[in-house]
Structure 1
Amino acid sequence: MRNWTLAAIAVGFGAVGAVLLLAAGSPFVALVILLWFLGWAALSSPLLMPSSVSATEAQDRSAADGRPIIYWRPGCQYCLRLRLSLGRLGRRAHWVNIWSDPSGAAAVRAVADGNETVPTVVVAGEAHVNPAPATVRGWLRR
């Protein structure tokens, strides 16, 4: 449920704002506000991210195929920026949602000075905290 909290808050604020604006006689502004909050909800939800696997499964898969592991969390603007910039290449990585997997969160804390800084990308056993999207694209093309 934690994965959807930010999206639910956005939908709630959008709905309340739209109702108040409708009551005040501003249907166009109400629609704009509602659409803006719905867009924000979609961007902060897990919908735009590939399906996540557990950290253990991602580590096993990465050891077998050499593909990077990307640790992320819903609502993270840097994770979203990375995901959108990767496009279809993003499907080649193993994605771990640290809010759904405590061992994934622990793996990130182990390499980020105790913080849950995401995105954290692990390539060939080496962790990179918030790498540039172009760098990650290069790793995924190999």
Structure 2
Amino acid sequence: MTRPWTLPLLFLLCGSAVAGAVLRERPGRAAAVLLLFVFLAVAHSSLVFPRSVSAEEARRLGAVDGRPIVFWRPGCRYCLRLRARLGRDAHRLHWVDIWRDPEGAAEVRAVNDGDETVPTVLLAGRPYVNPDPRWVRARLSPPE
């Protein structure tokens, strides 16, 4: 459970250390540095992603509503890129955090020759590894 928060915590700790070192000479620059590191910590956490579900629940829900499943993990810049480019449409997919769901991680390894390559999008039972966000958006069903 701590692994998803390791990178964000490192960003916060490093940002605090750098800002503290700069604080006496340039308080404005120290505040800017700290804000930058806070932004990086949030961007690399699970806070910017829709609520994750288990792989089992995602398959069950996907069978009912036909929505694609995205296997992702915090700190993955490609996952962050997909999430950012989908914008508000991100809630129209089922998101599975492979660091919190061992079954989801095993599913990703099974389709990626043993590697945990994310994002892996499962659409109609077929996996697509690191697809272009425009391609994913084009395959979403019309908004409800």
Q: Normalized against structure 1, the TM-score is what?
A: 0.95
Mapping for residues 1-142 of structure 1, pairs under 5 Å? 1-23=2-24, 25-142=25-142
Partners of 1:141 and 1:125 lie apart in 2 by 16
- How many residues in Structure 1 have an aligned counterpart in Structure 2? 141
Partners of 2:43 and 2:31 lie apart in 1 by 18
Describe the SS at the equivalent of 1:140: coil
Deviations 1:90-140 (A, max 9, x none): 101110000000000000000111100000000000000000000100111
CA RMSD of aligned residues (A): 1.0
Partners of 2:23 and 2:84 lie apart in 1 by 34
Q: Normalized against structure 2, the TM-score is what?
A: 0.94
Q: Is the contact between residue 67 and residue 141 of structure 2 (CA under 8 Å) also seen in structure 1?
A: no
Describe the SS at the equivalent of 2:75: coil
Describe the SS at the equivalent of 2:139: helix
Q: Is the contact between residue 8 and residue 41 of structure 1 (CA under 8 Å) also seen in structure 2?
A: yes
Give percent identity, aligned residues only.
52
> 4+ residue runs of structure 1 moved beyond 3 angstroms?
none
- In the alignment, structure 2 segments of 5+ residues that lack a partner are none
1:141, CA displacement in angstroms? 3.4
Partners of 1:122 and 1:84 lie apart in 2 by 19
